[in-house]
Amino acid sequence: MQKIIVHSFGVAVLLLTSSCADSQRDEAGGLLEGVPSGRTEIIDLTHPLNSKNPHWPGPGYEPFHYEIFATLEKNGVLSGRFSMPEHAGTHVDAPNHFEAGQIPVDRIPPRQLFCPAVVIDVQSKAAQNPDYMLSRTDIAEWEAAHGRIPENALVFLYSGWDKRWDDFEQYKNASADGVLHFPGFSAESVQMLVDERNAAALGIDTLSVDPGVSKDFAVHHVSHKRGKYHVENAANLSRLPPTGAFVVVAPIKIENGTGGPARVFALVAKP
């Protein structure tokens, strides 16, 4: 695992809503044009980074750390530095994270980082069962309501787990034996998404696209083996429509990195 120690940076993920696949480019352009006039609402889908953030409870995954090393009074400039694991905060998993021979984060083709966005809402099921896994049936029901998932989509699983973000213990939801309990994708659902729907990526509002109880990280292996990336610890997915969005994912570009933090912005046309 690599560690990041750099100056502050800005990284963005841009979501552009569209009413239909045939007019995606025109709708995206319209949303961008609507920003200065206020016709487009900007929604931040990124959790702020700080030392209290939830992080993966494993060796080497230290909390985010930030410090000021230069001040206006002493140095004539205000500047800070931070250190963190690649996989912390709202971040991207590159395909090489779990699969040897797959590409690192800096080599994800830009064309795969701009794609339609899909949001599958399972929050009611996750509230009843924290170990809930997205099923093929869930996907079929979503498509019955919203149409077939478009190719090259970033499929977000919205579990409502981001409401727990400010409480690390609630977010990881570990039982007495140390097993984590939070929802995720199932390997079967991901096989359908990547093989039958040709999804470009997976996204979720929890620590991992795999459910917390997973011991083999099958979802990571299934998706990474096929060159797919992930967005984990997403925020405010409740404010996105189920379909009709475009997403541009811009993770920090670490040479040979296995992932990195990203910022996420959603652009939504006001009614």
The closest alpha carbon to 187, from 230, 154, 216, belongs to 216
Confidence (pLDDT) at 44: 84
123-170 per-position pLDDT tens digit: 999 999 999 999 999 999 999 999 999 999 999 999 999 999 999 999
Helix ranges restricted to H, 55-162: 72-75, 123-128, 136-146
Radius of gyration of the chain (CA): 18
| Domain range summary for the chain, segments of one domain joined by + | 11-56+85-269
Instruction: Tell me which amino acid residue 80 is.
Output: G
The pLDDT score that the predictor gives to residue 13 is 46
Looking at residue 48, what is its pLDDT?
96
Q: How much is the average pLDDT of 209-227?
A: 98
pTM: 0.88
Mean pLDDT of the 51-76 span: 95
Percent above pLDDT 90 for the chain: 72
Looking at the chain, list the stretches that DSSP marks H as alpha helix, in order from N- to C-terminal side.
24-37, 72-75, 123-128, 136-146, 168-172, 187-191, 218-225
Statement: 11-56+85-269 belongs to CATH 3.50.30.50: yes
